[in-house]
Structure 1
Amino acid sequence: MAMNRPTLIALTALAPVSWGSTYAVTTELLPADRPLFTAVMRALPAGLLLLALARVLPRGIWWGKAAVLGALNIGAFFPLLFLSAYRLPGGMAAVVGSVGPLFVAGLSVLLLGDRPTLRTLLTGVAAALGVSLVVLKAAGALDAVGVLAALASTASMSTGTVLTKRWGRPDGVGPLALTAWQLTAGGLLIAPLALAVEGAPPALDGRAVGGYLYLALANTALAYWLWFRGIGRLSATQVTFLGPLSPLTAAVIGWAALGQELTPVQLAGMGLAFGATVLGQLRPRPVAVRTVSGSGSFSSAEENARKDSMDVTVSALRR
């Protein structure tokens, strides 16, 4: 069924909104200092569940592509994300992660041939500044390993987002199967590493079981399906500009559920970051490219119209 663009954006935005709860669930419900085990429990059960629902396996070159995307979006991203969450104070991981739109803009030039506009770059800076005002606190010494982990997780997810857009999906394969492949591949990549580094799984109480079920089902299986579905229909830059909704949601949860205060500066930062998120969803104005027509005259509008038509046709075929 066809879906209008605002509805598609709203559904895709549910993914980072869900991810905004990850920090609270990790710190309040899960065993401490087990980032690799937590990453496995988040990715592998969700991947196997979606794989059972999709009932489609990769074919040919897509075995390799699924492994690469699974490593970037899941296998590397999850452990680095949880490592940074365990080691960094005051939401610093969210600050580093908020530069994701700028990462994606740069990678889109190299891998997609997209040229970022000045508005895109300024909006990316505004989003990072807004998130910084919301979550950055002066107290607490920075941990170098945590900062590097946060930076690497952002780079990994940004690269995976752009490659997901570049490669699309095989004919006849929907976003559910693509999500299942990546979560399963990423989970299988992390599992032996978790066993080697952290040893046997810890004993789990009811709170931890509930936390892991939430992370695997709502926070991962559903959220990543919506995310990759959005990547297939929106531009990579538009999708990644939804990312700041994650730390904003985390701040709201901290205020509503954990008793954390929101200062006027934080509220101003939330407004700035949210405004940048909305601005990032606006379609850029078409750039007039002067081309020589068959009659020897220059034409821009007709050429742009032809390109738009071709883009829609190719996008439809790839879905």
Structure 2
Amino acid sequence: MLSNKWMVLLVTALAPCVWGTTYVVTAELLPPGRPLLAALLRSLPAGLVLLVVVRRLPRGSWWWKALLLGALNIGVFFALLFIAAYRLPGGVAATIGAVQPLLVTVCASRWIGEKLTTKKIVLGLVGVAGVALLVLQAQARLDTVGVAAALGGALAMAAGVVLSKKWGRPGTLLTTTSWQLIGGGIVLTPLALIIEGPPPESFTAANVSGYLYLGIIGTAVAYTLWFRGIHLMPASTTAFLGLLSPLVATLCGWIVLHETLTPGQLVGAAIILATLITTGASFGTGKNRPEPSALRATATGRRRFPYIRS
């Protein structure tokens, strides 16, 4: 039987695994050239639906905190990811984005007192190397604006992860998730209209199914699990799980789009898995031990999923 710490890790890992399917869903089901519209439609409607469910608005400082966290974790992150995707090959953008665990580790040591160790730095660098082997192509080119955008996106989400850990949550996970999704949608709305123009007059059945998948599974469910992991685990441990996203994206491309896998990519995948196993083994030991009350909430009755309202 899996221990509580591994259950927390595995449940949280579902979020980046789901995000890894975004590429194939976008390529197969969504209209081309509308990444900001996709980001907007997967965040704002999901946030509003969750808000209707929880029926609770922010109070006091959480008005600006929710907007800031939504901007960092969703709005600014997606916008910069869009710029990087258009100016860089996907492999370069993914490799640069893989520095996020390192950024989270440094920010967490400064802002919330998580210990900065040589092991975390080495694992972060090894993770970047694994992603590079997995997705980086020999003919990859660099673009200054694209690189800056990719780094900016990684830094934005890293700051969002650490601040989410620092500020905690004033209500249920569904509540704070809804606020952040709406905050991200507010940031994305003017950007999508200015850069991409108004949405198409009609959508196909495939488009609708793709947006529903990304909105319900890829956003509402995935972000709730992700924020739950941030609450229960050290910020740096949560961030390392993000390395699963390019791994799953590559596997989806192989299975669904019939893309080929090279020996180098298999080595990269093995490195990523080894990095994640090593990181997971460190979780729950020493200063990385989660709060006992948090783990008990995952092991007893209905408190196992604290974000589900009674």
Residue in structure 1 matching 2:191, options 190, 193, 197: 193
Deviates more, 1:46-55 or 1:180-189: 46-55
Q: Give the aligned partner of residue 293 of structure 1.
A: none
AA matched with 1:78 = F
Q: Give the aligned partner of residue 253 of structure 1.
A: 252
Matches within 5 A, 1:206-245: 206-245=205-244
Q: For residue 90 of structure 1, report the CA deviation from its aligned partner.
A: 4.2
Structure 1 segments unaligned to the other structure (5+ residues): 288-307
Matches within 5 A, 1:1-319: 4-170=4-170, 173-203=171-201, 204-283=203-282, 286=286, 312=292
Identity %, equivalent residues: 47
Q: For residue 186 of structure 1, report the CA deviation from its aligned partner.
A: 0.9
| 1:33–1:86 CA contact under 8 A, matched in 2 | no
AA matched with 1:164 = S
TM-score (norm 2): 0.88
Q: For residue 32 of structure 1, report the CA deviation from its aligned partner.
A: 2.5
Deviates more, 1:82-91 or 1:53-62: 82-91
Residue-by-residue CA offset, 1:8-48 (whole Å, 9 max, x unaligned)? 11110000000101122223332222232222111111111
| SS, match of residue 271 in structure 1 | helix
When the two chains are superposed, the root-mean-square deviation of aligned CA atoms in Å is 2.4
Q: For residue 124 of structure 1, report the CA deviation from its aligned partner.
A: 0.8
Query: Structure 1's 112 and 316: CA in aligned 2 closer, same or farther, altered over 3 A?
Result: farther
Larger CA Rg, structure 1 vs 2: 1
Structure 2 segments unaligned to the other structure (5+ residues): 298-305
Q: Give the aligned partner of residue 305 of structure 1.
A: none
| 2:81–2:149 CA contact under 8 A, matched in 1 | yes
| 1:31–1:202 CA contact under 8 A, matched in 2 | no
Residue-by-residue CA offset, 1:185-208 (whole Å, 9 max, x unaligned)? 110121122222322112432222
For the residues of structure 1 that align with 2:294 and 2:224, how far apart are their CA atoms?
A: 22
| 1:70–1:183 CA contact under 8 A, matched in 2 | yes
Q: For residue 312 of structure 1, report the CA deviation from its aligned partner.
A: 4.9
| 1:70–1:181 CA contact under 8 A, matched in 2 | yes
What is the number of equivalent residue pairs in this alignment?
A: 294
